[in-house]
Amino acid sequence: MKMPELIELSSNRCFGGYQKVFSHESSELRCQMNFAVYLPPQSEERSLPVIYWLSGLTCTEQNFIQKAGAQRYAAAHGVIIVCPDTSPRGVNLPGEGDSWDFGSGAGFYVDSVTDPWQKHYRMYSYVTKELPDIINTNFPVLADKVSIMGHSMGGHGALICALKNPGKYRSVSAFAPICNPINCPWGKKAFTGYLGVGNILEWQRWDATELVKNYDGPPLDILIDQGVEDQFLKEKQLLPENFVAACQESHTPVVLQMCDGYDHSYYFIASFIGRHIEFHMKHLNATSTLL
């Protein structure tokens, strides 16, 4: 398959490396897409591991790179960080801009099976297939040393990407993920639109709590940080307790850290992004995916 042309939109010196943003034509999403990539100084000398970051509702590729402070840790550890957008852009589907939690900026990292969304809203295939092919072709990455992390909707995305692709990712972590979307208002709205009304079997294929019950791949380490003062935790949008219970049922290791005083914001992410990158580097520096 011919790789799309990358157009460099910005390049900024950052902790000895470069924070860059590129645009390309996506074959999966059938539109122009942006992604950000942080190249630490070590990337000028050798190929490096890569961590994918998936952002949450309303975000673009910009939120994480401007607010999380991850570049400092990526430079210290020698790891590339890739951050895609959160949905197709500019496809002009009816209703895609009507609400903040569905449509534009809210792709939910699924492959839609309903009209009119299925033509463009294929974020799962984009982040697990098309974008990694682009990254592996154009940047000095070690294609067998990959981890994934995300926040909120992106935490849901990171969890399902890891659980649906055993052995593809060395580790997975999340900040305040939507852990059980088939049982929360955000998930029910998104899944109804993208996957079909009442299509529970299809819904379960995109729910981390359901997926982990039947996970039979290589051992997978999962780290979740959750702010105790998160308003969406209190509103039962996130449901980490359901995911932990399912992990215990399937004997899948998970660490859920409840962080006193923290909310759902990037202040929370910036406070703990360092330990997430350290968590992933423990696995990315190992010699086998069978950890």
Annotated catalytic residues are: 152, 230, 264
Helices H, strands E: what count in the chain? Answer: 11, 9
What value, to the nearest 5°, has the Cα angle with vertex 217 and ends 134 and 114? 60
Which ranges constitute the DSSP H helices of 112-207?
Answer: 123-125, 131-138, 153-164, 185-195, 200-204
Hey, how many other C-beta atoms are within 10 angstroms of the C-beta on 192? 15
The CA distance from 166 to 193, in Å, is 27
Residues in CB range of 231: below 8 A, 6 or more apart: 263, 264
Output phi, psi for 85, to 5 deg.
Answer: -75, 175
Name the helix (H) or strand (E) containing 75: helix 70-77
Say if residue 116 is preceded by a cis peptide, omega within 30 of 0.
Answer: yes
Compute the Cα dihedral for 101, 106, 109, 114 and give only its sign.
positive
- How far apart are the C-alpha atoms of 155 and 149, rounded to whole Å? 6
- Which residues are bridge partners to 189 per DSSP? none
Angle, vertex CA 151, rays to CA 80 and CA 31, nearest 5:
70
Query: Is the distance from CB of 252 to CB of 143 less than 8 angstroms?
Result: no
